[in-house]
Structure 1
């Protein structure tokens, strides 16, 4: 069992009260935990770290497209601003993947894993909560 202080556990606080979105967010949490576990492992494997990050990037692109379809469908007034945040996150994920690919294990890998964890939590807790509140009010 991973007891890393960086491990994220699913909680009701992270729930968007939307089964599909929650499943996608749970998947991100699983991937972030796998990423940080692999980075901190004594037997870390760069190919595994890159595979996890690539999966996160692919899943993020699909997830953000799903959210943005909901924004259009529900006429979410801040959809353009939120879509811009998605584009920025995708850019940061791509940059992180490139940095990992270009280097061997270093403090940068640890910082990258922590940054991705922080980006995910902040986006779900602060940004996604805003549109979910709007959808609930509908």
Structure 2
């Protein structure tokens, strides 16, 4: 799989949640660059992975808050996907820094595949739902304004 980068095709037409998706992609970009990986200490890599896990949790909480506030009918199914992924990346977090290059590449492929598939399918459905509500969906904030940067 090629390097991950933001594309407008991933946009769900929500500035806040699209911004979160861009941040998640930025974390993965930091991990997937093999030259940069070689320059980083295991501790630095672990810090990036920890940041990815923390930001993923933050994003999921914000997205789920919005879903609840809008009475999104697929909320429970969507949240179950988030819970499952958090379990997976928690295991990933513990293994990544000490992983062989082959295992690290496999883990990164999983992260990229999951994120892109989730955005293009599940999050896009939520974006369509918000669009169907019109301006009513745009007026609801998640109540989170913290910004966590991967840099």
TM-score (norm 2): 0.81
Contact 1:35 1:52 in 2 (8 A): yes
Are positions 1:107 and 2:106 aligned together?
A: no
1:53 corresponds in structure 2 to 49
Number of equivalent positions: 133
Contact 1:57 1:93 in 2 (8 A): yes
Contact 1:6 1:114 in 2 (8 A): no
Distance 2:79 2:99 in 1: 33
Q: Following superposition of structure 1 onto structure 2, how do residues 56-71 of structure 1 map, counting pairs within 5 Å?
A: 56-71=52-67
1:124 corresponds in structure 2 to 119
Give 1:116 shift: 0.9
1:14 corresponds in structure 2 to 10
Distance 2:25 2:93 in 1: 17
Contact 1:39 1:113 in 2 (8 A): no
For structure 2, the residue ranges without an aligned partner over 5 or more in a row are 134-151
For structure 1, the residue ranges without an aligned partner over 5 or more in a row are none
Contact 2:31 2:37 in 1 (8 A): no
Taking only aligned residues, the RMSD between alpha carbons, in angstroms, comes to 1.8
Contact 2:53 2:89 in 1 (8 A): yes
TM-score (norm 1): 0.88
